[in-house]
Amino acid sequence: SKMTVKAVKMPCTSANVYTKVPDGGWGWTVAFAFFVVEALTYGIIKSFGVFFNDLMESFDETNSRISWIISICVFVQTFTAPLSTVLSNRFGHRLVVMAGGLLVSTGMVIASFARSVVDMYVTIGIVSGLGYCLSFLPTVTILSQYFDKRRSLVTAVASTGECFAVFSFAPAITALKEQIGWRYSMLSVGVLQLGITACGSLLRPIVVREQEEVKAQPPEESTETKYMLENEQTCTSIESIDSGVDITTSPSNVPGKTKAEPKSEEPKQHGQNPVENNSTPPEPKTKLLDFSVMRDYSFICYAFFGLFATLGFFAPSLYIIPLSRSLGIGKDHSAYILSAMAIAEVFGRIFAGWVLNKKPIRKIYIELICVILLSVALVAFPFASGFWGLMICSVYFGFMLGTVAGTHIPLLAEDDVVGIERMSSAAGVYVFIQSLAGLAGPPLAGVLVDTTKNYSSAFYSCAAGMVLGAVFLALVRPCKTGLCHQQQQQQVEESTAGPPPELPDDFIDMDIGKAENSGKGSDSV
């Protein structure tokens, strides 16, 4: 049967109703929008380091105080994820992303006129940070709704936008600073981020319904299926529009059925078309934030995986250059190591999407293998020596980081975790939990480095967090189908099994009466 690509045009929202997930169509436009949003959000955040030296000189501040600008920004972005979910469910993904783009651009533009680092904390840290949250999370959520079989591959490829942005934005902003200064360069970046609003306008809502709910009613029923009801006052059939009696062909109205379900609806007024009674009932109101995911053991384990795995995401990008400089590697060669890591991350994202797109495959196990290999990469950094040793570790880490970073959020849509129906709420709670590690991770690693006077301790701490994340990830599938599921199924079976049927009160009396009558008959004989 062919898929109905554009069945019904929803009023006001311009949403298309599909009989099944399109796996393409307008989804390709949404994928392009997600690519650009990735570039203008995470791409700018990762490229913000080009302003560090300028900000330190202009505000006469230390490196650590300037670093708090991005730390606050990332924390606000992840901490307010539930708010993004609530607003998306209330106002729609399109409007929320467009509002987020305005916040991101406004914060960056005002920051270009800042006179102190505290102004940066407010403008980029809070205003732009909130805008990043409202822009990124709804975009990746609606993209997952447009794809099913190709979801992993499309999401992974579209997420490479931040990697390409690092390649292009960092040298472009550096060259622009030499011409017009860092303030006007930051102003230009803020104006460029208005493109997020344009991408938000492309996020057309999607509604997926079963085919029988959107197909038209047959023009005429065969006479064999018509049930007539006649009495003194009316004579009608299911095609009549002149009677107030509502007749259906459901089994409850077929002769021979002794039990008929009571009707809660009032009789229709004279002259009303009874076909409207067969229209699709109104859909239940969508919850703004479905906290029922917190009762799902598989999601709890997956959330703890994200909490601990986030500790391992930041260390190489923050400490690879200081580590290489401590080993006597020059500044230029250290930058090459970081660039190689970003290139490898692109290939890792594409490779992960290609592998997860294969059928049949248990995606949660593929993610677990990638997390274990990523832990090995973190442990290998302290043992590397020289330029080529760090280069090999960086390329290996970048590739494995791409396999995990590009898939861990879209994997929430899989049935092994929560499924596509509850992904919106699950993503908000999941990213909110990640914010705790994002805020505590860098200071924890910094304390270890200051205490041990060795950058290797930061990599060891991140590797320990990644190993703990792998343990919780390994428990996701058993919690979904293992002992917990069996206990829930047993409780459901006990609740559905009703009490034994009650016998009539005169059942025993009737049998006794029959026995007495038969005894009297035998005596008379």
Q: Which of 256, 367, 365, 359 is nearest to 306 (CA)?
A: 367
Residue 9 resides in a domain: no
The predicted model scores a pTM of 0.63
Amino acid at the residue 264: S
Residue 279 resides in a domain: no
Give the pLDDT confidence score for residue 363 in this predicted structure: 81
The torsion angles phi and psi of 9, rounded to 5 degrees, stand at: -95, 115
Residues 33 and 174 grouped into a single domain: yes
The string of DSSP letters for 325-387 reads HHTT--HHHHHHHHHHHHHHHHHHHHHHHHHHTSSS--HHHHHHHHHHHHHHHHHHGGG--HH
Give the pLDDT confidence score for residue 232 in this predicted structure: 43
Residues 341 and 483 grouped into a single domain: yes
Residues 34 and 151 grouped into a single domain: yes
Residues 195 and 93 grouped into a single domain: yes
Give the pLDDT confidence score for residue 14 in this predicted structure: 59
Q: Can you tell me the mean pLDDT for 270-288?
A: 47
DSSP label at 9? B
Residues 297 and 418 grouped into a single domain: yes
In the chain, the number of structural domains is 2
41: pLDDT strictly greater than 80: yes
Give the pLDDT confidence score for residue 95 in this predicted structure: 93
Q: How far is CA 9 from the centre of its chain?
A: 25
Which has the higher per-residue pLDDT, 403 or 511? 403
Give the pLDDT confidence score for residue 121 in this predicted structure: 92
Residue 255 resides in a domain: no
Residues 467 and 338 grouped into a single domain: yes
CATH number at residue 356: 1.20.1250.20
Classify the phi-psi angles of 6: left when phi > 0, otherwise alpha if psi is within -120 to 50, otherwise beta. beta
Q: How many CA atoms lie within 13 A of 3 on its CB side?
A: 14
Domain end point (choices 186, 211, 236): 211
Q: Are 116 and 59 in contact (CB under 8 A)?
A: yes
Q: Can you tell me the mean pLDDT for 220-235?
A: 45
Residue 75 resides in a domain: yes
Residues 89 and 195 grouped into a single domain: yes
Give the pLDDT confidence score for residue 37 in this predicted structure: 93
Which has the higher per-residue pLDDT, 58 or 223? 58
Domain end point (choices 181, 211, 241): 211
Give the pLDDT confidence score for residue 140 in this predicted structure: 85
Length of the chain measured in residues: 525
pLDDT digits (tens, 9 = 90+) for 441-483: 777 777 787 788 888 888 888 888 899 999 998 988 888 776 5
Residue 242 resides in a domain: no
Burial class (CB in 10 A: 0-12, 13-18, 19+), 346: buried
Q: What percent of the chain has pLDDT over 90?
A: 17
Please report, to the nearest 10 degrees, the dihedral formed by the alpha carbons of residues 331, 333, 334, 338 taken in order.
140
Confidence of residue 101 (pLDDT cuts 50, 70, 90): very high
Average pLDDT, the chain: 75
Q: Which of 82, 76, 141, 79 is nearest to 290 (CA)?
A: 82
Residue 230 resides in a domain: no
Which has the higher per-residue pLDDT, 238 or 175? 175
495: pLDDT strictly greater than 70: no
Q: Which of 31, 39, 42, 44 is nearest to 157 (CA)?
A: 31
Q: Which residues contact 371 (CB under 8 A, 6 or more apart)?
A: 305, 309, 404, 466, 469, 470, 473
Q: How far is CA 469 from the centre of its chain?
A: 19
- For residues 216 and 188, what is the distance between their CA atoms, to the nearest angstrom? 53
Residue 227 resides in a domain: no
Which has the higher per-residue pLDDT, 480 or 511? 480
Which residue's entry shows tokens 């396999």? 403
274: pLDDT strictly greater than 70: no
Q: How far is CA 169 from the centre of its chain?
A: 27
Residues 344 and 462 grouped into a single domain: yes
Domain end point (choices 211, 226, 247): 211
Residue 498 resides in a domain: no
253: pLDDT strictly greater than 50: no
SS (H, E, C) 24-70: CCCHHHHHHHHHHHHHHCHHHHHHHHHHHHHHHHHHCCCHHHHHHHH
Q: Which of 46, 45, 41, 63 is nearest to 54 (CA)?
A: 63
Dmax (CA) of the chain: 127
- For residues 195 and 451, what is the distance between their CA atoms, to the nearest angstrom? 44
Structural domain of 177? 16-211
Confidence of residue 33 (pLDDT cuts 50, 70, 90): very high
